[in-house]
A = this chain, B = another copy of it.
Amino acid sequence: MAKQYERIADQLRQRIRAGELEPGQRLPAETALAKEYKTSLPTMRDALGLLLSEGLIDKKHGVGNFVRKPRKLVRRDNARHQWEKDRARAAETERQATGATERDTGLTISDLSFHATYSEVPADEDLAAHFGVPVGTRLVERVYRTNHREEASPFNIVRSYLVHDVVAANPDLLDPSKEPWPGGTQNQLHTIGIELDRIVERVTARPPTVEETEELGLQGGVAVVVLRKTSIDTSGRVVEVSDVTMPGDRTELIFTTTLDRW
């Protein structure tokens, strides 16, 4: 004896999978569906809520429910780090041509729009522990939002932290008007004599906060993927920590691990 709203959801799911309802197509109005399935409106809405949480439909207030189109994935590949390192010492003209994000996504610079904000913040406990500095140490916080130029919501939000007194050696690094910086963070660090030895990335997923739901334009049961990147220089010191927040339904992370030979 299955629950009614599950049975209805099953039937709708099947109609979607069978292609009877095509991606992007509007579903009948909820009142019409309730009549069609001989149930009450709230129950029909429960059934649609299930499909929403499974990412099968989008709801648009005042417009209708739509079969969700498969998302274009944004890829991020850990080979980007070596690639960026190789370019960190290249001439500016070469660095300007392409950034790591364009490399990952296969898009050109003109497809992307990019917004950066700089501010100064004291290290909280978490960041202090990562950097190995006292709580309250002055950090530079840089927030980046990257969009496809033709899409409303950003496909990631990056919060990058540097120790203020370390990067102050080059005042340009404190100047947001220099963004986007050709060659990225590794080139910025190169200007103050820092070479990276390795990058540690920690990936987790969690339900979005209400702010993230709005900022990233999320719907339904979609989670956010959070990547914390820690950059370590050749002396073993942590020189950058950054948190990348991405919509779980549009993100694909690739990591290649090369093994020593026998």
Contacts and interface: CB of A to CB of B under 8 A. Distances in A.
B201 A203 contact: no
Interface in A185-243: 195-209, 220-223, 225, 234
A207 B220 contact: yes
A54 B201 CA distance: 24
Nearest to A207: B221
Contact of A259 (B197, B248, B259): B197
Given A202-B252, A203-B252, A248-B248, 8 more contacts: A42-B42, A78-B255, A82-B259, A89-B262, A198-B256, A206-B249, A207-B221, A223-B248
Contacts of A222: 207, 223
A253 interface: yes
A222 to B, nearest CB: 7
**How many copies of this chain does one complex carry?**
2
A257 B253 CA distance: 13
A81 B255 CA distance: 12
Contacts of A249: 205-207
Nearest to A205: B248
Contact of A254 (B54, B202, B256): B202
A187 to B, nearest CB: 13
A260 interface: yes
A228 B223 CA distance: 19
Contacts of A89: 262
Contacts of A257: 78, 81-82, 198-201, 255
Interface string A8-31: 000000000000000000000000
Interface in A36-73: 42, 53-55, 73
A205 to B, nearest CB: 4
Contacts of A259: 81-82, 85, 196-199
A204 B252 contact: yes
26 contacts: A42-B42, A53-B221, A54-B209, A55-B207, A73-B204, A78-B255, A81-B257, A81-B259, A195-B262, A198-B257, A199-B256, A200-B254, A200-B255, A200-B257, A201-B255, A202-B253, A203-B225, A204-B251, A204-B253, A205-B205, A205-B249, A207-B220, A207-B222, A207-B249, A221-B221, A255-B257
| Of A220, A259, A260, most B-chain CB atoms within 10 Å | A259
Contacts of A54: 207, 209
Interchain residue pairs A-B with the least CB separation, the first 6: A223-B223, A205-B248, A207-B221, A203-B253, A255-B255, A205-B205
